[in-house]
Amino acid sequence: MSAPPLPALGLAALLAGVGASHFAVPAVYDAMIPERLPGSPRTWTLGTGATEIAVAAALLAPPTRRHGALAAAALFAGVLPANIKVAVDARKSDSTAYRVGTLLRLPMQAPLIAWALRVRRAS
């Protein structure tokens, strides 16, 4: 079996790394979970991490790459409310760098979605 194309491999690596970090430092992600979601933040954190890892795996295999790329685009759109929550919560922070960083995350969702859709089209 040949190696996945570079865009798919890069997207898979990004998702696998971020997914693993949900298990390594879950408290960081727990704070991002909007309060209106049912259940505990930790359940959402671990579920999201597992989903990111599963999507990364789907991107690596040619038979599932197209579906994995669509799932990645949906995942990036789905986490936007958490990124908005973090940016709103950051207004209370004393750290300018943190406040700016949370705001910069918001427009990053669009290129991530576009990347995933490019991988899908190429698959």
Measured CA to CA in angstroms, residue 85 lies from 14, 16, 33 at distances of 22, 23, 8
Q: What is the pLDDT of residues 16-69, one digit of tens each?
A: 999 999 999 999 899 888 888 999 999 999 999 999 999 999 999 999 999 999
pLDDT surpassing 90 at residue 82: no
User: Whole domain around residue 10: which residue ranges?
Assistant: 6-122
Q: Quick check: is 99 in a domain?
A: yes
Q: Quick check: is 1 in a domain?
A: no
> Given this model, what pLDDT does residue 113 score?
97
pLDDT surpassing 90 at residue 70: yes
> Given this model, what pLDDT does residue 1 score?
56
C-alpha 18/C-alpha 23 separation (Å) is 9
Q: Quick check: is 35 in a domain?
A: yes
Measured CA to CA in angstroms, residue 20 lies from 15, 87, 119 at distances of 8, 23, 22
Percent of the chain residues topping a pLDDT of 70: 98
Structurally, the chain folds into a number of domains equal to 1
Torsion angle of C-alpha atoms 10, 65, 80, 15, degrees rounded to 10: -40
